[in-house]
Chains A and B, each alone.
Chain A
Amino acid sequence: MTLEIIIQAIISGLLMGFVYALIAAGLSLIFGLMEIVNFAHGEFMMLGMYAAFWLWSLFGLDPLVSLPICAALLFCLGVATHYGIIRHILNASMLVQICATFGLAIFLRASAQFLWTPDFRTISHPIVEGRVEIMGIFIGLPQLVASLGCLLAFAGLYVFINRTDTGLALQATAQDREAASLMGIPTDRMYALGWGIGSACVGVAGGLLAMFYFIFPEVGFLFALLAYVAVAMGGFGSITGALFAGLLIGLMESLGGLLIDPSFKYVFIFAMYLVVVFFRPQGLFGRY
């Protein structure tokens, strides 16, 4: 095993890590706002990928071009989810909230299967394809563009939350809903906005993944599973935590698969989560 292979694995791991981080960031944003885990997050991502696929297949739009459309569609889906479902179960128990989003996940996955069949689809010949070689290390261009896109989206999210008035209003709502509403912040609209932005994150990730990944109704499962682990490991509600945990998971996936045994790579990721929460029950960056 040469050094080059290890560096190759580290780079591929980091590239996937940025995608995981963006998916996890959307999940974490929603959780931080209202303490609800969206168990349909993977299905949202699947819909983002299908949106990219159909825009390519019907209108010939490249995934990179249609990315804003995917994000906007998923933003609308998130807002609709808030007004249609989440708003009614805000004060219900955690179990009912879990069940409602699971129900949504089953509904969306089955609908995708009904409408578009369980076939695997791919987008052939996107604008970006092929790979580059830098000092003996191969980097797939779609993967590179996807992870750069996710990193940019992540940076945009971070700036939006910490530097804009609306972002600060979101944070205020997350900290104390009643105090925020006394300050004149429309909390219900903030919740809807949070769901919109959280879903748009996964729409961007899905649109970028569509360049090089298979598209099928169950595609979201693994990504969502890793995102849940990332969110919990980083600390529920922490966007920074989601970034670090996403990168750690990406690294663990490729290095664990390379150095130990590829068939157990997810076991290593899961074990890493258990070790982290054993020592820090609130996750790496969690507040509580």
Chain B
Amino acid sequence: MPSSSPPPLSPPSRATVDDASLRAALDEPSRKPLSGRQKALGCLAAAVLLAYPFVFDGPFPQHVMIMIFLYALMAQSWNIMAGYCGQISLGHAVFFGIGAYSSGFLFATYHISPWLGMLVGIFLAMAMALVIGIPTFRLRGHYFAIATLVIGESVQIIFQRWEFVGAARGIWLPIVRENAWLNFQFNESKIPYYFIALGFLALATLAIWRLERSKAGYYFRAIREDPDAASSLGVNITLYKTVAFMMSAGFMAMAGTFFSQYILIVDPENVFALSLSILVLLMAVMGGVGTLLGPIIGAAVLVPLSEYTRIYLGGTGGAVDLIIYGALIMLICIYKPDGLIGIAKQWLGRRPPPEETAHGDA
């Protein structure tokens, strides 16, 4: 993380000036410690999440929570790139797929622990982000978005034809009974999956919380607001876009490994799906883009909505679940363009707590 070093373009003596002016320009809140009320709310949330799988011990409520964590993790990772740094990606499934394939392939072929496979996946996803980023970071707005879209589609087509990794059949992971933790496979219960997913999400959220307050976080937001102005203030925009993209890709690959170990099938149709990239985008934006808790709120609302409507209204092939889903998205866009986090803030109190807001209206 180059968060502690000044950007190469600006001399060290100017770095502090840059910081202050950037913060002033972005109207950022100062680095306030958490208030007592926020700490209490945080502890309460943690207690509820830790107790949940023991209170609701059926597989379905646990599955819904695991899916919320998984999608929240992906929405968080997308949020680093798009919410904070302003680069809208429509192809984030690429990194998810690379993570899923890396650990899945190594485990199915060489019986390498998925934990190691996950590290390989994170490394490969970051390398891929670098490869994608170098030619595409010159592109602005929709040109970048369409570029990531076509790269995502191309990678899916390539994996569908690539015999070495099973082509369109994908990879079927062997079911192993012993060494559950080492093999990242829990056949008896969903509770370990629950806590691993929760842990991954907590890790990503903590990283973003630190990032928000770091120098790199300010640079990201400066690039989002106005790349030319950021550049003239001495922010190396290509470097920081690359950092944001790589961080984002790494967390996405983590989610991919988790998914492959949870479902035990990795196929190009699912892990490189355009619909996955879109879903992740929708969750982050619906929740509140560029905020720490927005993507989690988005996932917590949209995942249960889709899981439960599918059970109660879908199944007949009527797609009523998707009709409601699409209509809700349009309604949120029209009436709550800042995302559901706006409603959450109204419920929780008058002043938005500093860690929830990137725009800093406090």
For B320, the closest partner residue in chain A by CB is A114
- How many chain A residues touch the partner (CB < 8 A)? 47
On whether A236 and B142 interact (CB within 8 A), knowing A96-B337, A99-B285, A99-B329, the answer reads: yes
Decide if B150 touches A114 in the complex (CB within 8 Å): no
On whether A95 and B318 interact (CB within 8 A), knowing A270-B151, A282-B143, the answer reads: no
Decide if A37 touches B326 in the complex (CB within 8 Å): no
Q: Is A213 an interface residue (CB 8 A)?
A: no
In the bound assembly, the distance between CA atoms of A106 and B285 in angstroms comes to 16
For B88, the closest partner residue in chain A by CB is A95
Contact of B329 among A93, A100, A236, A263 (CB under 8 A): A100
In the bound assembly, the distance between CA atoms of A90 and B140 in angstroms comes to 19
Q: Is A264 an interface residue (CB 8 A)?
A: yes
Decide if B333 touches A99 in the complex (CB within 8 Å): yes
Decide if B323 touches A266 in the complex (CB within 8 Å): no
Decide if A98 touches B329 in the complex (CB within 8 Å): no
B256-300 interface bits toward A, Cβ cutoff 8 Å, 1 = contact, 0 = none: 000000000000000000000010011001100100000000000
Q: Is A186 an interface residue (CB 8 A)?
A: no
Q: Which residues on B are within 8 Å of A, measured CB to CB?
A: 82, 88, 135-136, 138-143, 145-147, 149-151, 153-154, 157-158, 160-161, 278, 281-282, 285-286, 289, 317-323, 325-330, 332-334, 337
Contact of A281 among B143, B285, B318, B320 (CB under 8 A): B143
Give min CB distance, A201 to chain B, whole Å.
19
Report which residue of A100, A225, A263 has the largest number of chain B beta carbons within 10 angstroms of its beta carbon. A100
In the bound assembly, the distance between CA atoms of A109 and B158 in angstroms comes to 27
Main secondary structure of the interface of A (DSSP, over half): helix
Stretch at the interface among A2-10, A140-148, A167-175, A271-279: A271-279
Name the B residues within 8 Å of A104 (CB-CB): 326, 330
On whether A100 and B333 interact (CB within 8 A), knowing A107-B327, A110-B323, A117-B317, the answer reads: yes
Q: Is A105 an interface residue (CB 8 A)?
A: yes
For A88, the closest partner residue in chain B by CB is B334
For A108, the closest partner residue in chain B by CB is B326
Decide if B322 touches A118 in the complex (CB within 8 Å): no
